[in-house]
Structure 1
Amino acid sequence: MATYVIVGAGLAGAKAAQTLREEGSDDEIVLIGAESERPYERPPLSKEYLQGKSEREKIFVHGADWYADNGVDLRTGLRVTRLELDQHAVRLSDGSRQPYHKLLIATGARPRRLPGPGLCLRTVEDSEALKARLAGAERVIVVGAGWIGLETAAAARKAGCEVTIVEPDPTPLYRPLGPELGEVFAGLHRRNGVDVRTGTGAAEITETGVRLSSGERLTADLVIVGIGAEPEVGLARDAGLEVGSGILTDAALRTSHPDVFAAGDVAESFHPLYGRRIRVEHWANALNGGPAAARSMLGQEVSYDRVPYFYTDQYDLGMEFSGDIQGYDEVVYRGSVPDLEFVAYWLREGKVVAGMNVNVWDVVSEIQQLIRSGVTVDPKELTSDRR
């Protein structure tokens, strides 16, 4: 009997374990997680769970009995301290040693932090602590206008707090969306009463607020830090696996060692559609990457080529984003941007490389088909309401 060991009991790891069983494997499956909770999904932590709109039980990937019922040895509250690739084993924080035939690394990412008392959001415990703090706060500063920063800012406004966002880039979401759509999100938050300050960073976080890079001091009861995340590549690097911005894999999610695979936030994988390696931190990549890695571990032919996908909900705006804007040279719109009911298309040399639907639904498949096709399009056709 073979043994499949999965390091990282998040969404990618849990879905990989599920897929191994669904694909007919009756081998031993060991799922190891550093957190004390069983696997859960992270998007609700900055959205509906943080705002008190959903119950705790709804965040979990599987029911409490699923792992035992499906013969998955779930070990929570344990860290893998070392990968012994030559011996096909991992060392655990309790001193034990776990052999494997195939290994999946799905360790995810950790939030980037700043010195001082600012709160970060990554775990369910973080979300619950933040929810409690928001209930008693009057003034909140959010450092960073990425997805987590904007979603927590929206939650803080829903909780009745005065909110200031501090972002050194020219607009919110400047890197994932570019300045055009970044301004849309800046406007959304300003219309909801948020003081959005771009082009300035946090030089220091103190007990009473933030000192900006300009020297200005802002006071607050609570500072939230949302400045991105770093993949947990330490184990892989120490073991001698090839690492770039994440653990390097081929399109089958296989690392530089033939019996070791990586999926989710931690993996920098070759993407057949783009012809290069990319690292995607979003929920859908964990949801789909875990099962793809499991099939690859079973020896099936796998070419993981999902179009990157992300969604967000902020105030009365719901949106879905597909693709990668790298190298775009034009953005065109169908619908009404001022009314926040539109589809945006990013083009490069006349080809659609990304699309975002805002309060417009059931068009993701159409957008992703355009991205996959690689055909040159007429921007007027994209912007026509008759499409």
Structure 2
Amino acid sequence: MAQDQATPSGPDLTQGIPIADLADGKLVGRVGDQEVLLVRQGAEIFAVGARCTHYQGPLAEGLLVEGTVRCPWHHACFDLRTGEALRAPALSPLPCWSVERQGDRVFVRGQREAPAPSAPSGKLPKRIVIVGGGAAGFAAAEMLRRRGYGGGIVMVSGDSAAPVDRPNLSKDYLSGNAPEEWVPLRPDGFYAESKIELRLNTNVASIEPGKHEIVTEGGERIPYDKLLLATGADPVRLPIPGADLPHVHALRSLADSRAIIEAAKTARQAVVIGASFIGLEVAASLRTRGLAVHVVAPEPRPMERILGPQMGDFIRALHEEHGVVFHLQDTVTAIERGGVTLKSGGRLETDLVVAGVGVRPRLTLAEKAGLATDRGVTVNPYLETSAPDIYAAGDIARWPDPHSGEMIRVEHWVVALRQGQTAALNMLGHRERYAAVPFFWSQHYDVSINYVGRAETWDELLVEGDIAARDCMFLFKRAGRVLAAASIFRDLRSLQIELAMECGEPIGGAG
């Protein structure tokens, strides 16, 4: 999460620098107390904030691509001319400064005001309704206003809290390294100021496509011209005795994370059921809080199905270095107030249980409305469902992926944000295909794993670098083609591979 930055160093750009200092294309300097990235692309020179507006990633270590800069940490992308955050997970723009060239020197002058959004043209919907208060729903509402849409926006959410930065719920916030004020995606006043009607604690009972209405559980009918279905997913509930006991938790919402934090204040030992990304991030966070942590999972290695055996062994060793105890190739068969029973016959004492065994997309509304579904809500490249004027995005959407040629559904935060943004543009009359390469990251103590692409199966796994030294890239290949790449501290290489996937270019590597 964003952290306070030290006093910026580097040259005072208001005093000018030789243009030769930009031979490598990028230079970090300062303007007053602000850190500024100076970029030269061809004959143009840009001056923008040097830190990503998502988690303050160093943009000087990122990738320049045709008038944009991409963040090395979580692959946000910014327009160098306007500062606009073109790709999630960043949502806020970069500050921009005027640049003046005098002979062989470059000077950075005053900060420029962000351009006001221009109203979209053409016939526009009078009211857009968004069902869901997660990543996709928020990103859609924010993009609609960013692009100057002046019609009504109603966001209906069953959650008790306004949209939050969900990855933080299992990472820094849960570990105690981020205050709660960092968790909301926008301050409370944002929705009223932006004229977004946010209805919390409101569940939708049905959608009536023929009438262009949704019906809440309270019986209220809300008409729409365009509808975005972004209902997300629910945690899988354990079908075992004791799964409903008060000390057993899942993690999906801010309320869930708060409940685990409160329980951790008095708990001494926790059992995490499942060695998924969420499960192990929870394990790391609870270890940071000083609890003894045991992880129970049926697979022989953590996350082997997604990351392969070498990375699985590394992740297990990393957690064991921090005191986590694994019980692999085992399952919990029952939960009692003081412990859990294992299928192997053992028993673990515990006063806190967290289940991280996956999620299921919320498809009930779509199915009842007669929308086409196939292990998700089926959408076309523009995220349109089978019903006129209804779009779907996020965890529920199954879309035609141009990179694999398959219909896929992905449960990643960044994917949901980007799909919400694309759906918003298309509801305003654009015809923008959703073609972003899937991306996610996972944090384990001081190690971050970045993953681009998608490889459910592979027949070859190539390793660049040294995993033990925490400096490596894994390439997942099928039939000679790289489908996905996982990396530890090879951020620029990860960005380069993502770009190659976007462009359909071959990816070289080890072997």
Identify if the C-alpha distance between structure 1 residues 379 and 363 changes in structure 2 by more than 3 Å, giving closer, same or farther. Answer: closer
- The 1-side partners of 2:302 and 2:465 are apart by 22
Partner of 1:66: 190
Partner of 1:225: 355
TM-aligned CA deviation for residue 61 of structure 1: 1.6
Counterpart AA for 1:65: G
Match of 2:311 among 181, 185, 192: 181
- The correspondence of residues 191-206 of structure 1 with structure 2, limited to 5 A, is 191-206=321-336
- The 1-side partners of 2:371 and 2:280 are apart by 35
Cα deviations by residue, 1:156-188 (Å, 9 ceiling, x for unpaired): 111112111111122111332233322221121
Identify if the C-alpha distance between structure 1 residues 301 and 378 changes in structure 2 by more than 3 Å, giving closer, same or farther. Answer: closer
Partner of 1:109: 233
Partner of 2:391: 261
Counterpart AA for 1:147: F
Partner of 2:158: 34
Counterpart AA for 2:230: A
TM-aligned CA deviation for residue 142 of structure 1: 0.7
Partner of 1:308: 438
Cα deviations by residue, 1:51-85 (Å, 9 ceiling, x for unpaired): 11112121112221211112211111111111111
- The correspondence of residues 1-387 of structure 1 with structure 2, limited to 5 A, is 2-114=126-238, 115=240, 116=243, 117=245, 118-372=248-502, 374=504, 379-380=509-510
DSSP-derived class of the 2:249 partner: coil
CA RMSD of aligned residues (A): 1.6
In the alignment, is the contact (CA less than 8 A) between 1:170 and 1:179 conserved in 2? no
- The 2-side partners of 1:212 and 1:235 are apart by 37
In the alignment, is the contact (CA less than 8 A) between 1:350 and 1:377 conserved in 2? no
- The 1-side partners of 2:504 and 2:312 are apart by 25
- The 1-side partners of 2:490 and 2:268 are apart by 34
In the alignment, is the contact (CA less than 8 A) between 1:104 and 1:262 conserved in 2? yes
Counterpart AA for 2:314: V
- The 2-side partners of 1:307 and 1:275 are apart by 12
- The 1-side partners of 2:268 and 2:260 are apart by 13
TM-aligned CA deviation for residue 42 of structure 1: 0.5
DSSP-derived class of the 2:177 partner: coil
TM-aligned CA deviation for residue 362 of structure 1: 2.9
- The 1-side partners of 2:431 and 2:422 are apart by 10
Counterpart AA for 2:290: G
Identify if the C-alpha distance between structure 1 residues 16 and 63 changes in structure 2 by more than 3 Å, giving closer, same or farther. Answer: same
- The 1-side partners of 2:393 and 2:507 are apart by 33
Counterpart AA for 2:381: A
In the alignment, is the contact (CA less than 8 A) between 2:307 and 2:486 conserved in 1? no
Work out which structure has the larger RCO, using CA pairs closer than 8 Å and 6 or more positions apart in sequence. 1
Cα deviations by residue, 1:278-335 (Å, 9 ceiling, x for unpaired): 1111110122110101112122112111111111111121121111122311222222
TM-aligned CA deviation for residue 370 of structure 1: 3.5
Counterpart AA for 1:40: V
* TM-score after normalising by structure 1: 0.94
Gaps in structure 1 of 5+ consecutive residues: 382-387
DSSP-derived class of the 2:496 partner: helix
TM-aligned CA deviation for residue 375 of structure 1: 5.1
In the alignment, is the contact (CA less than 8 A) between 1:309 and 1:321 conserved in 2? yes
* TM-score after normalising by structure 2: 0.72
Cα deviations by residue, 1:211-258 (Å, 9 ceiling, x for unpaired): 112222222111110000011111111111111221111111111112
- The 2-side partners of 1:355 and 1:53 are apart by 29
- The 2-side partners of 1:320 and 1:380 are apart by 18
- The 1-side partners of 2:505 and 2:127 are apart by 45
TM-aligned CA deviation for residue 209 of structure 1: 1.8
DSSP-derived class of the 2:172 partner: coil
Gaps in structure 2 of 5+ consecutive residues: 1-124
- Larger radius of gyration, structure 1 or 2? 2
Across the two proteins, how many residue pairs are aligned to each other?
381
In the alignment, is the contact (CA less than 8 A) between 2:130 and 2:155 conserved in 1? yes
Partner of 1:385: none
- The 2-side partners of 1:378 and 1:42 are apart by 34
In the alignment, is the contact (CA less than 8 A) between 1:6 and 1:105 conserved in 2? yes
- The 1-side partners of 2:465 and 2:195 are apart by 50
